[in-house]
Copies of this chain bind each other. A is one copy, B any other.
Amino acid sequence: MLTELDNCILGVIWREGPMSAYDIRSHFAASTTVAWSSSTGTIYPATKRLLAAKLIEAGPRSGPRGRQLLALTVEGNQALHQWLENVGPELGSSTADPLRTRVHFLGALASLQRKRALDDYREVTCEQIQVLELALDKPARTPVERSERLGTLGALMELKARLAWLEAIEAEVAGVASPK
């Protein structure tokens, strides 16, 4: 069974053509919407798994600096298609949002601290929204850029929904709390 990361690697190689493990790592590191740390200890074992499963194949160690290009095999392409098309009900679930998790227990804080914490939650969300909006400002010309842009837009919409939710909570908490 392939992990999300495995499939994501297949997808990136599909989208941008044969590339080295180092390229994959750089690609993830540059992305604003990817969750993984994209450290070597993650990527290289993953490519090793994919090579063992014959979903990718390695070309000769060549190129400007002896980098080894990884390409999709026919089976790898099939695996990618299956991943995209096999939709289980668990994919519909809401994600694990660390801020939403915390809000469950905000009652543990005194009124003042709770207010400050909620402010902080809103603040970090706003900052990330600005980052994504900035990314959306860049023009998307190639298909790859347009695809990335769609992903960024999805992330942005999630964050805006979270922000609206946090603001609704603040309004509710303000009404309930005793006036100072």
Residue numbers of A with Cβ under 8 A of B are: 4, 8, 11, 14-15, 33, 35, 77, 80-81, 83-85, 87-89, 91-109, 113, 116-117, 120-121, 123-128, 132, 143-144, 147-148, 150-151, 153-162, 164-165, 168-169, 172, 179-180
Copies held by the complex: 2
A117 engages B85 (CB within 8 Å): yes
Beta-carbon contact of B104 and A83 below 8 Å: no
Distance A45 CA – B102 CA, assembled complex (angstroms): 22
Q: Given A14-B108, A102-B84, A109-B84, do A162 and B151 touch, yes or no (CB 8 Å)?
A: no
Kindly provide the distance from the CB of A39 to the nearest chain B CB, expressed in whole angstroms.
15
Q: Is the CB of A14 within 8 A of B105?
A: yes
**A121 interface neighbour in B91, B117, B158, Cβ under 8 Å:** B91
Given A81-B108, A108-B81, A159-B94: A154 touches B143 (CB 8 Å cut-off): no
CB distance from A9 to the nearest CB of B (A): 11
